[in-house]
């Protein structure tokens, strides 16, 4: 993983593990993905796994959060290294789960899980702190919004 990717992941995880919702790294997707992410932002539920939506800093249509510690969604993130042919961590058989019609790559982090959509025109990443069990539950509430706003790759 590149140093930039490591710093970006660390910034997201620090913000997801508690605090006042500050410091979420905002992705820089291409224009088409950014449009899709804007539509996703408008479709996101007010509650995820019973957790209320909260403000994040900086405010962006590419990020959203729920609860404290914060479940963080980032839309328009780069393709995960694990799914990138030629990368040191490439693993085409990596663990994934399908929840409500959306496939998510599963990556365990030091303090929870990171789930990233697969087979969509924009990558959506959700980090779930260890304090929420089972960690996959927030994906249930996010699936409809992702499926209706981020089309499958052709």
Model-level pTM? 0.85
Tell which wins on pLDDT, 30 or 23. 30
pLDDT at residue 70 tops 80 = yes
If we measure between CA atoms, which residue out of 4, 1, 120, 9 comes closest to residue 72?
9
pLDDT at residue 40 tops 90 = yes
Express each pLDDT in 100-128 by its tens digit.
999 999 999 999 999 999 999 999 999 99
pLDDT band at 23 (very low <50, low <70, confident <90, very high): confident
- Take residue 146 and report the two structure tokens written for it: 């992702």
pLDDT band at 154 (very low <50, low <70, confident <90, very high): low
φ, ψ of residue 105 in degrees (nearest 5): -70, 140
Share of the chain above pLDDT 70, in %: 85
Judge contact between 69 and 17, C-beta under 8 A: yes
pLDDT at residue 9 tops 90 = no
If we measure between CA atoms, which residue out of 97, 108, 110, 107 comes closest to residue 139?
97
Could you state, in order of their start, the residue ranges of all structural domains in the chain?
3-149
Task: Output the CA angle 130-104-41, nearest 5 degrees.
Answer: 85
Q: What is the mean pLDDT of residues 56-77?
A: 97
Express each pLDDT in 80-96 by its tens digit.
999 999 999 999 899 99
CA distance 145 to 34: 15
Question: Mean pLDDT across the chain, nearest whole number?
Answer: 88
Tell which wins on pLDDT, 1 or 54. 54
């Amino acid at each position: 993983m590149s140093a930039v990717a490591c710093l970006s992941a660390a910034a997201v995880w620090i913000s997801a593990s508690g605090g006042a919702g500050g410091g979420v790294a905002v992705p820089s997707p291409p224009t088409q993905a950014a449009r899709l992410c804007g539509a996703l932002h408008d479709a996101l539920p007010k509650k995820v796994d019973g957790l209320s939506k909260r403000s994040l800093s900086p405010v962006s249509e590419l990020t959203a959060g729920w609860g404290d510690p914060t479940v963080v969604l980032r839309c328009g993130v780069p393709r995960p290294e694990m799914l990138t042919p030629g990368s040191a961590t490439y693993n085409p058989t990596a663990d994934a789960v399908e929840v409500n019609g959306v496939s998510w790559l599963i990556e365990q982090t030091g303090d929870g899980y990171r789930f990233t959509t697969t087979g969509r025109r924009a990558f959506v990443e959700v980090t779930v702190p260890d304090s929420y069990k089972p960690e996959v539950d927030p994906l249930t509430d996010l699936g409809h919004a992702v499926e209706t706003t981020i089309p499958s790759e052709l």
